[in-house]
């Protein structure tokens, strides 16, 4: 399997190099040259597989010759052995049509663990024998940060610099990052939004002077390996609900378009999916883009679902590339226009290509709270992000079963859940002392100079 950049100019890479590189050298994102195909028989044969075995089946075609099947199985067993539920990502039924896919049983209580536990092990595997230190730079609106830090804290030869928007993540999310005091973990609160942080991370990769000094890598979903690991749970859930004989829909609370792009990848690989329902909060650029073709970013509005307070969705570029005819040069021009004006129109091919797979919805604060109360009446306490997905799922125009991706544990957003439902969810016992732990982080202005200066003073150069 080889990977190509969405902007057409970067070299084709294999899985190991794509995992270590993160962003492509032309500023694009890596995608597989072709989607592996699973027949109805292949999918039916997954019916009795454990999560780990499903993961091996689904991911093996993506890793090419860089990992043997036995090595991949060993890494998956290690990564998913840290989850607190035997099924790793269990399904819970809410009513005759609605299901929750619980993705929050990993160490940091969000869906990010599913991919990042594996990515941490992949880094370790691919760096064995290398003397060049790895400098991971990442941006988080709350959940990627703690999951990535958990995956690499204390690992030899790796430093992680994680940028979060100051005051715009929940207190639990912040503390999950800033109380990890391992010397290779560097948290930075920037005085700006998640979009500012994400733009800075991309600029670091594109700045030859900076990226030439360090072996940079990414833990955000710009890194293909993140999405590859997320494809697995779409197969795992759909098979349990009758695939390939029955089509299901997935409602996905969406910010950076990574999670739902993984669902799109599953559909392209042959999984029968009725609809992928993109659910946004009031930061609704993706809903506008998919429903009208208007991809224009405004100012980010802080909400009770802070991890989705995003206006510039990295992975949307992957979709535009794939449904728009895989024309790297044309997409590079389109994206350059967007980077200058923060606005663009989807082409007809992109709009109609996307419409074959996606529906979308914008969920406001009142509908989000109502969904939390409805789930509580059905016996499930859900977090604000999941509630946005569920609100969209309940009003979606689909005929089959709908699986809402439950992307975070409710206790990560205790205040918002309590406000909506009247009761406060509690953190699992292993986080009992989270509020007593010492915190460590730097606060910096949201400028490239300030952040790269801080990193350059602490990261280990290539040598």
Ligand X SMILES: N[C@@H](CCOP(=O)(O)O)C(=O)O
| Active-site residue set | 112
Nearest CB to ligand PLP, comparing residues 7 and 412: 412
Rounded to a whole number of angstroms, the minimum distance from the CB of residue 422 to ligand X is: 27
Stretch binding ligand X (CB under 6 A), from 13-21, 30-38, 135-143, 447-455: 135-143
Residue pair 181/81 in contact (Cβ under 8 Å)? The answer is no
Structure tokens at 42: 């292949």
CB of 233 to ligand PLP, least distance (A): 13
Q: Are 412 and 387 in contact (CB under 8 A)?
A: no
CB 30 within 8 A of CB 24: yes
- Residue closer to ligand PLP, measured from CB, 110 or 152: 110
Q: Helix, strand, or coil here: 347? A: coil
Interaction of residue 141 with ligand X, rule CB under 6 A: yes
- A 10 A CB-CB count for 103 gives 26
**Residue 411 in tokens:** 């206790």
Kindly report the length of the chain. 463
- The yes or no reply on residue 143 touching ligand X (CB under 6 A) is yes
Please report whether residue 309 would count as binding ligand PLP according to CB under 6 A: no
The span from the first CA to the last CA of the chain, in angstroms, equals 31
What residue 220 binds from ligand X, ligand PLP, none (CB within 5 to 8 A, per partner kind)?
A: ligand X
Q: How far is CA 110 from CA 80, 212, 214, 326, 408, in A?
A: 14, 33, 30, 32, 4
Structure tokens at 150: 């958990």
Q: Which of 146, 161, 154, 155 is nearest to 113 (CA)?
A: 146
Minimum distance from residue 279 beta carbon to ligand PLP (Å): 9
Among the residue ranges 50-58, 70-78, 136-144, 287-295, the one whose residues contact ligand X (CB under 6 A): 136-144
5, burial (CB in 10 Å: exposed 0-12, middle 13-18, buried 19+): buried
Angstrom distance (rounded) from CA 377 to CA 175: 30
Q: How far apart are CA 118 and CA 228, in angstroms?
A: 10
Count residues near ligand PLP (CB under 6 A). Answer: 17
Task: Choose from ligand PLP, ligand X, none: what does 54 bind? Cβ within 5-8 Å by kind.
Answer: none
Q: Give the C-alpha distances (Å, rounded to integers) separating 216 from 12, 133, 211.
A: 18, 9, 6
Instruction: Name the residue nearer to ligand X (CB basis): 74 or 441.
Output: 441
Quick note: the x/- pattern for ligand PLP over 228-257, rule CB under 6 A, is -------------------------xxxxx
- Judged by beta carbon distances under 5 to 8 A according to partner kind, the member of ligand PLP, ligand X, none in contact with residue 347 is none
Stretch 240-259 residues interacting with ligand X (CB under 6 A): 255-256, 258
140 binds, among ligand X, ligand PLP, none (CB under 5 to 8 A by kind): ligand X
Q: How far is the CB of 147 from ligand X (least distance, A)?
A: 8
The distance between the two most distant Cα atoms of the chain, rounded to a whole number of Å, is 60
- Determine if 263 is a binding residue for ligand X (CB under 6 A): no
For residue 294, the cross-strand partners are 345
Q: Count other C-beta atoms under 10 Å from residue 439's C-beta.
A: 12
**Smallest gap, in angstroms, from Cβ of residue 104 to ligand PLP?**
8
* Binding window for ligand X (CB under 6 A); candidates: 84-92, 141-149, 329-337, 365-373: 141-149
Binding to ligand X by CB under 6 A, coded x per residue (else -) over 88-127, reads: ----------------------------------------
Q: List interacting residues with ligand X (CB under 6 A).
A: 140-145, 220-221, 255-256, 258, 307, 314
Q: List interacting residues with ligand PLP (CB under 6 A).
A: 110, 142-143, 221, 253-260, 307-308, 385, 407-408
């Amino acid at each position: 399997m080889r990977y190509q950049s969405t902007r057409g100019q970067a070299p084709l890479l294999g899985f190991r190099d794509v995992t270590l590189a993160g962003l492509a050298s032309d500023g694009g994102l890596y995608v597989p040259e072709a989607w592996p195909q699973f027949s109805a028989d292949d999918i039916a044969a997954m019916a009795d597989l454990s999560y780990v075995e499903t993961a091996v089946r689904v991911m093996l075609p993506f890793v090419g010759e860089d990992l043997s099947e036995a090595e991949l199985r060993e890494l998956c067993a290690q990564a998913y052995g840290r989850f607190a539920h035997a099924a790793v990502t269990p399904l819970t039924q809410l009513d005759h049509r609605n299901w929750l896919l619980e993705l929050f049983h990993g160490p940091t209580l969000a869906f990010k663990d599913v991919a990042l536990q594996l990515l941490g092990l992949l880094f370790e595997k691919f760096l064995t024998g290398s003397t060049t230190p790895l400098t991971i730079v990442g941006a988080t609106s709350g959940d990627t940060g703690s999951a990535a830090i958990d995956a690499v804290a204390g690992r030899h030869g790796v430093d992680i610099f994680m940028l979060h928007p100051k005051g715009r993540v929940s207190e639990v999310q912040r503390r999950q990052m800033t109380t990890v005091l391992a010397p290779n973990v560097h948290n930075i609160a920037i005085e700006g939004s998640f979009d500012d942080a994400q733009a800075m991370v991309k600029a670091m990769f594109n700045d030859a002077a900076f990226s030439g000094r360090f072996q940079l890598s990414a833990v955000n979903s710009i890194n293909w390996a993140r999405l590859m690991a997320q494809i697995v749970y779409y197969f795992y859930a759909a098979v349990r609900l009758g695939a390939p004989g029955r089509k299901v829909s997935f409602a996905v609370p969406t910010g950076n378009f990574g999670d739902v792009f993984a669902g799109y990848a599953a559909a392209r690989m042959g999984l029968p999916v009725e609809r992928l329902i993109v659910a946004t909060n009031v930061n609704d650029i993706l809903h506008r883009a998919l429903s009208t073709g208007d991809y224009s970013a405004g100012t980010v509005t802080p909400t009770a679902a802070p991890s989705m307070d995003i206006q510039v969705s990295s992975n949307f570029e992957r979709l535009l590339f794939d449904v728009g005819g895989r024309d790297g040069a044309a997409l590079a021009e389109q994206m350059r226009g967007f980077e200058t004006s923060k606005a663009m129109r989807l082409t007809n091919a992109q709009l109609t290509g996307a419409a074959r797979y996606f529906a979308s919805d914008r969920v406001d604060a009142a509908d989000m709270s109502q969904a939390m109360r409805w789930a509580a009446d059905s016996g499930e306490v859900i977090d604000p992000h999941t509630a946005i997905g569920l609100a969209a799922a309940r009003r979606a125009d689909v005929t089959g079963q709908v699986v809402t991706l439950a992307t975070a544990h409710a206790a990560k957003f205790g205040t918002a859940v309590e406000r909506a439902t009247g009761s406060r969810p509690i953190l699992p016992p292993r986080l009992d002392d989270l509020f007593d732990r010492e915190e460590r982080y730097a606060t910096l202005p949201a400028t490239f100079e300030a952040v790269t200066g801080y990193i350059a003073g602490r990261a280990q150069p290539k040598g």
